[in-house]
Amino acid sequence: MIPPEFIERLRVTIPEEDVAAALRGFSSPDSLVIRVNPLKSSDRDPVAALREQGGVLDPVAWCPGAFIVSAVAPTAISHHPLAASGNIYQQSLASLIPAIVLDPKPGEMVLDACAAPGSKTAQMAAMMKNEGAIVAVEAVKSRFFRLKAVCALQAAINVTCKLCDIRRFRSPEGLMFDRVLADAPCSSEGRFKSDEPESVAYWSVRKIKEMSYKQKGILMSASRHVKPGGTLVYSTCTYAPEENEEVVDWFLRKSEGAFTLEDCHLPGVPAYPCLTSWGRSEFDPAVLKCLRVKPGNGYTGFFVAKFKRKDV
Active-site residue list: 237
Q: How many CA atoms lie within 13 A of 159 on its CB side?
A: 33
Query: Which of 150, 297, 300, 285 is closest to 235 using CA atoms?
Result: 300
200 in Cβ contact with 250 (< 8 Å):
no
User: Using CA atoms, how far apart are residues 306 and 312, in angstroms rounded to an integer?
Assistant: 19
- Distances from the Cα of 24 to the Cα of 192, 271, 296, 302, angstroms: 11, 17, 8, 16
Round to the nearest angstrom and report the end-to-end CA distance of the chain.
Answer: 51
309 in Cβ contact with 252 (< 8 Å):
no
**What distance separates the 2 farthest-apart alpha carbons in the chain?**
59
- Distances from the Cα of 298 to the Cα of 27, 89, 204, 284, angstroms: 13, 17, 26, 31
162 in Cβ contact with 136 (< 8 Å):
yes
SS3 158: coil
User: Using CA atoms, how far apart are residues 144 and 136, in angstroms rounded to an integer?
Assistant: 9
Q: Which residues pair with 177 in a beta bridge?
A: 226
